[in-house]
Every structure is written in C-alpha cells, then in structure tokens.
Amino acid sequence: MDKQTKTNQREGIYVRLDQYDDIFSDFDMRPYSDRALSVDFLDEIKRAVSGKDGGDIELILHVPENKRDESREATIKERLGAHFLRHYQLLQKEKRDVLKTGIIMVLLGIICMIIATLVHFGDSSREAFLSFLIVFLDPVAVFLLWEGMDQIIFNSKNINPELGFYHKMTDSHEWVQFRAY
C-alpha cells in the first residue's frame, strides 16, 4: 500500500503554529533535538486525540511558508517520536509497577489471613503473644487485601487514558507532516 493510500485512512489532527518554537517549552533553550515539549502543545494534541475514535493518527503541523525549514522539521519529527515513545514506555512501566504492588499486597494479605487462621485454630487462649498475633494480623490482612485490590482495580486504570494517548501517538510518530499556510 503506498503512502498516499495509508494517509487517507488516517485521522488527521491539524495544528497551526506561528513558529517551530510553539511546539517546545519557552523555558528550555536546548536545541530542538533535546528540547522539552510545551505543555500547551501536548494538551492541544491530547484534546484532539481524545475526540478521535482511535486507530491511526496523522499529526499535521501548519507553519508559515516563510518560516519553514526542512532540516528543522526532520529534527522536530524525531524529537516528537522520541518524546511519545519515551513517555509511552514510562507509563507502561508505571502501570506494571502499580499492578505488581497490588498483587504483592493482595498476596501478603492472604498470607496474613492464613497465619491468623492457623493461630486462631491453635490454642491461642493460653498465650498472650498468639492472641496479640490474631488481633494484629486481622486488620493488617484486611488492609493489605483491600489496598492491593484498590491498586489493581482503580489505580492501574487511572493510568490508562494517558497510556492510550501515548500509545496512539507512538504509533503515529512517523505520520507527522509539516505544511505551509
């Protein structure tokens, strides 16, 4: 399939820029290849992507004709791709870590419940330490179980919108185009 046919199947996001610096943070004076992206620019892209059904995204950046520079555009395309990929990977790791923490907490909660059950069915009435273990382990087990489930069910899902955005943009980084206005 040729590039033109693929482009026609993509959903376009059109952004008008006054200059290339609109893409980047005003406070970062490094070259375009290392510069941080502007929060305003990213927010606009996120807002535009959230309105799309999903799938393939094409980012079309309109720049004044007299300010276009193809070498800068190539650098900016690489920078956008690197940014989207890095943040996608960071969010994937964050989600894995949240799930891992939740699973460990649930397992520790179950282990505490098992220990409390074993102590309870032993003769704990004779020893103060065993009675203390039951009193201590019951709330610990419930806390770990519920907090671990909260991590798995809710906290991991809070990452999904941002992860979805960066996933879409990672897939589309090669479809960044510059056009003149």
List pLDDT tens digits, range 146-181. Answer: 999 999 999 999 999 999 999 989 877 678 899 998
Contacts of 76 (CB under 8 A, 6+ apart): 20, 23, 32, 176, 178
pTM: 0.81
85 and 96 in one domain?
no
The list of the chain residues with pLDDT below 70 reads: 1-9, 54-55, 123-125, 173
pLDDT of residue 127: 79
137 and 110 in one domain?
yes
For the chain, how many structural domains are there in total? 2
86 and 7 in one domain?
yes
8 and 84 in one domain?
yes
pLDDT of residue 37: 95
Q: Quick check: is 165 in a domain?
A: no
Q: How far is CA 138 from the centre of its chain?
A: 35
49 and 23 in one domain?
yes
Count CB neighbours of 168 within 10 A.
Answer: 22
C-alpha 159/C-alpha 1 separation (Å) is: 35
pLDDT of residue 119: 85
pLDDT of residue 1: 41
pLDDT of residue 129: 81
64 and 50 in one domain?
yes
Count Cβ neighbours within 10 Å for each residue of 132-155 and write b for 16 or more, e otherwise.
ebeeebeebbeebbebbeebbeeb
Helix (H) or strand (E) holding 171, with range, is: helix 160-172
Residue-range definition of the domain harbouring residue 155: 92-160
Compute CA distances 90 → 36, 69, 120, whole Å. Answer: 16, 31, 45
C-alpha 148/C-alpha 170 separation (Å) is: 31
pLDDT of residue 174: 77
pLDDT of residue 114: 93
122 and 66 in one domain?
no
Angle subtended at Cα 17 by Cα 11 and Cα 22, rounded to the nearest 5 degrees: 115
